A and B are shown apart, each in its own frame.
Chain A
């Protein structure tokens, strides 16, 4: 008898917990107030957006925005798993130019075309190359929060002190020579990303590979990862890091290099153009001491990448209307004005709207880097960034779903080579196999 009672008690207990579960699941989303969950990357412009979200909440009573800020790699896995499983946990996601067309085609993202089509928003004002990268079959699936290319940034004072000069369109050989010449015990010649991850290490490194004449794949989707040009480029990158790069390179990505240049610990830095706005911000110790030039080249005319961080609304969100409202707010002209007046004009998200570049205050604040950003973004060629034609559109990435995985694995191998645990050739031979499997899937 007793035993039965016990069993019933425990059964009831399990039942209660199950009820509690379902009860809780049902209670979210109910009620008048909407809480939007936004997943984003821990870059400066997004942190600004979080600090200004109160303005949106004040203007739209009943809508709260909950920011989930993550490192780039963590963001990618969290958001991809969520969206691919149609879990619908995020109402707004921050995704790159790489994901948008693929996810849009998969039907994972809300088509924003109609929602953006109101006069006050002025969708035509968005930079054309960026906007076209976010559309599939005329449907726009995301809006750029900011757009960027890659440029070379350098500290004039350090270069002048060493008697070095760089042109507006330097070659990698010139850059390497300058890096070695200005390097001292306390100041590294150049900062380059070494953190494993396709979006970290392989963003700059792929552009280097392309201007050296290499590519991930040829027109038949055969992997070219251990081709002589690819090996030469990676070897050049590694040697440059060894001879004149920042210490502890595997720890460094965008943010780390940004700090190093700001603190005067490196003389040059090749990375995203968006960095310039932080370097020229009022609180930056190197404000006004920097110069900018196009991405260094070898065999191509331009070598900058094209990237945008975009806001998109997953197809499964329960709060579509509120989410679109926020997306429009955060990418509007008014938001750019708000950032300018509240946080300083240099912090306005660059590379997203044409009109931004004609705001007088912004022009003044971005005089050093605004024009070159716009110039480079319009000059790069995502259809054929390298020496040879390629079967996809995109510069620093290969626009296939497998690339994320391939890029990450090869990045880890190259990071091992940068740290000297393997040779570049060994790393890339292994990488070639990984890349070939993904290439075969495209044939």
Chain B
């Protein structure tokens, strides 16, 4: 009886999991179909694998867009880490009086609609001559992710036992040794988690990329929409493009699930 109930629950779990995964699965499958097969109704499950979709991605220069995505994601994540680690360290281990206000400021910048100052941002970029510039886009991404990073990072720093820090300070360790030798090793997994999350957010960003880049610095997400073709069938190539664009983050997230959970649950998970 109990066994039956157990296997029923397991089946139910799998059923829901499959429903949730289906659109992604279907995207993977369609990526390897010919355009006729991809748009066939009723849907075809048995088909001859076809790589013409991937060939078209390469022909249209998708590699450049992926490279831009990679550059902006890595660069913005590095900037975020450089800024957020010291800030979080100060906020957590050497708190100052107005800490609440500082934290609140960071959160509120993330709350405010980015779209509100979009046109001015576009114009500022234009007058600085950095429209369609991957470094400029990275800076914007860094500003977008910084608040969340500071927040998450602070809760990781909070896990560092105060006694260790104090002991080090009494031993006369200066600030740098304290940070690098004692604190950083403890929070390293947390930093990895934050880096992963910042990377994912930057890689997947569409709105700002659409508006601030045109060709040289265009990233993968806005490029995807251009596969919606005017002349008929495009599901195959669209699926292939979506799959290629999404895969790096999918793989990173699959591998680093623990880090992901850690980061998202803000260090509350030990």
Contact = CB atoms under 8 A, between A and B. Distances in A.
Are these two chains actual partners, yes or no? yes
A89 B132 contact: yes
Interface in B216-240: 216, 218, 225-226, 228-233
Interface stretch (A79-87, A151-159, A391-399): A79-87
Contacts of B174: 2
A70 B122 contact: no
B130 A21 contact: yes
Given A6-B86, A13-B82, A39 B214 contact: yes
A339 to B, nearest CB: 14
A18 B132 CA distance: 15
Contact of B231 (A24, A44, A66, A78): A44
B230 A255 contact: yes
Contacts of A10: 82-83, 86
Given A13-B82, A82-B214, A89 B131 contact: yes
A24 B214 contact: no
Contacts of A81: 122, 211
A62 B248 CA distance: 34
A66 to B, nearest CB: 5
B129 A25 contact: yes
B135 interface: yes
A17 B230 contact: no
B160 interface: no
| Band of interface residues on A | 35 or more
Nearest to A91: B215
A17 B79 contact: yes
Contact of B215 (A13, A24, A47, A89): A89
Contact of A37 (B60, B211, B215): B215
A67 B223 CA distance: 11
B132 A42 contact: no
Contacts of A42: 226, 228-230
Contacts of A82: 214
A28 interface: yes
A259 B230 CA distance: 9
B150 interface: no
A41 B230 CA distance: 9
Contacts of A87: 126, 131
A262 interface: yes
A162 interface: no
A24 B210 CA distance: 20
B175 interface: yes
A71 interface: yes
A85 B129 contact: no
Contacts, number: 87
A258 interface: yes
B79 A71 contact: no
B130 A258 contact: no
Contacts of B216: 28, 37
A17 B135 CA distance: 8
B146 to A, nearest CB: 13
A47 B126 contact: no
A259 B15 CA distance: 35
A24 B211 CA distance: 19
Contacts of A387: none
A362 interface: no
Contacts of A254: 230
B119 to A, nearest CB: 8
Given A66-B215, A89-B132, A47 B82 contact: no
A259 B136 contact: no
A105 interface: no
B245 interface: no
B50 interface: no
B215 A85 contact: no
A71 B229 CA distance: 9
Contacts of B134: 24
A68 B79 contact: no
A43 interface: yes
Interface in A250-267: 254-255, 258-259, 262
Interface in B175-208: 175-176
A68 B231 contact: no
Contacts of A20: 135
B214 to A, nearest CB: 4
A324 interface: no
A346 B214 CA distance: 32
Interface in B123-173: 123, 126, 128-136, 139
B226 A69 contact: yes
Contact of A44 (B122, B176, B211, B230): B230
Contact of A259 (B82, B225, B232): B232
B149 to A, nearest CB: 16
B215 A262 contact: no
A21 B60 CA distance: 27
A85 B214 CA distance: 14
Contact of A90 (B128, B133, B214, B232): B214
B228 A71 contact: yes
A78 B136 CA distance: 18
Contacts of A259: 232-233
Given A2-B175, A90-B214, A74 B135 contact: no
7 contacts: A28-B216, A37-B215, A37-B216, A42-B230, A44-B230, A71-B225, A255-B229
Given A24-B134, A89-B131, 13 more contacts: A6-B86, A13-B82, A22-B129, A24-B135, A28-B216, A37-B214, A66-B215, A69-B226, A71-B228, A74-B210, A81-B211, A255-B230, A259-B232
Interface of A: 2, 6, 10, 13, 17, 20-22, 24-25, 28, 37, 39, 41-44, 46-47, 66-71, 74, 78, 81-82, 85-87, 89-90, 254-255, 258-259, 262, 278
Closest 9 interchain pairs by CB?
A44-B231, A43-B230, A69-B226, A37-B215, A89-B214, A42-B230, A25-B129, A87-B126, A255-B230
